């Protein structure tokens, strides 16, 4: 049972570089989310998707882009990396509907922009 898989685990970027954080889930979950976690600040929602081909902005979308071409994959793209994007990024997924479905998280990608 792989669950939610994120790659890479760690990455250091220079200011202005770009990269894609990968997220894939094998639970056939329609809903997928990207969060960032900063020390003492809790988790903030960047983007989310309720199904293939559908994405929407969360609280802190600036500087990021997403796509959802398949149910399994939900990559997060950083264009022109800035020091403010230094954070731990978590991908998560769940099934929609009844309210009984918990959120499943990946192990995170720790990104440093210098």
Residues that bind other proteins (CB under 8 A): 4, 31, 33, 35, 40-43, 45, 48, 50, 56, 58, 90, 92, 94, 96, 99-108, 110
**CB closer to other proteins out of 14 and 97:** 97
E strand map for 15-86: 19-25, 31-38, 42-51, 54-57, 64-66, 76-78
Distance of CA 64 to the CA centre of its chain: 10
Contact status, residue 91 vs residue 4, Cβ threshold 8 Å: yes
Which of 65, 95 has the CB closer to other proteins? Answer: 95
* Complex with other proteins: residue 14 or 99, whichever CB lies closer: 99
The least CB distance from residue 15 to other proteins, in Å, is 25
């Amino acid at each position: 049972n792989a669950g939610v898989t994120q790659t890479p685990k760690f990455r250091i970027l220079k200011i202005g570089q770009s990269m894609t954080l990968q997220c894939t889930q094998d639970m056939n979950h329609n809903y997928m989310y990207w969060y960032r976690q900063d020390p003492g600040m809790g988790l903030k929602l960047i983007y989310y998707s309720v199904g293939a081909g559908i994405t929407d902005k969360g609280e802190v979308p600036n500087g990021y882009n997403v796509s959802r071409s398949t149910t399994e994959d939900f990559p997060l793209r950083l264009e022109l990396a800035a020091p403010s994007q230094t954070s731990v990024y978590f991908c998560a997924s769940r099934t929609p509907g009844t309210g009984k479905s918990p959120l499943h998280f990946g192990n995170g990608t720790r990104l440093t922009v210098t």
